[in-house]
Copies of this chain bind each other. A is one copy, B any other.
Amino acid sequence: MFTVFKGYLLEKINLTDPELEQIESVSTIKKLRKRQFLLQEGDVWRYNAFVCKGFLRTYFIDNKSQEHIMNFAPENHWSGDRESLTSELPSKYNIEALEDSEILLINKPDFEMLCKTIPVLNDFVNAILQRRFVVMQERIHNNITYSAEEKYNSFISKFPSIANRIPQHMIASYLGISAETLSRVRKPSSKK
């Protein structure tokens, strides 16, 4: 499974064989069955996690015991709780596999060491952060601007590959609308 990560990296940046070996030497693989947790609320998150295969969701439970999905991570994407990772405080989130998954983990000190010794990796990691930033900003934009229907349309046009891989009610949860409302705004979109 390291080959998946290797392929991902080489597509984006140039790395020498020794560098790749160095990365591999600190990588571990965690296999998750569907519905298994990578992280549970209350635990401290200590890794950088790359999804080699499968699909993860990050969600939290509000004080009315309702689930809200914070993030999706299909293969070739990163997951984890950056907040807990930097603060080293217990996480508010659960990360659960929605499909059988294989996750590549690099713990925090090892990852920092990699970034220090491989500048091009460090730049890449920062670039990812920047991009994630823009995605979050767009999500806020949509949240404060759009109606339920517009939110849904925006989601499926932006993440078509995610949309057809997960149950609808999880899209609703991600968008902050009820599953029933989502069901209702879905059909008018087909007719004019």
Contact = CB atoms under 8 A, between A and B. Distances in A.
Contact of A133 (B62, B129, B143): B129
Interface stretch (A21-29, A32-40, A134-142, A154-162): A134-142
Interface residues of A, number: 26
Interface in A20-59: none
Contact of A83 (B126, B134, B140, B174): B134
B143 A82 contact: no
A70 interface: yes
A176 interface: yes
Interface string A60-92: 101000101010000000000011001000000
A168 interface: no
A176 B137 contact: no
A140 B141 contact: no
Contact of A176 (B68, B145, B175): B145
A83 B141 CA distance: 13
Contacts of A181: none
Contacts of A132: 133
A110 B139 CA distance: 31
Interface in A104-135: 126, 129-130, 132-134
15 contacts: A60-B141, A66-B145, A68-B141, A68-B145, A82-B130, A126-B126, A126-B129, A129-B133, A133-B136, A140-B140, A144-B173, A144-B174, A144-B175, A144-B176, A145-B176
A47 to B, nearest CB: 16
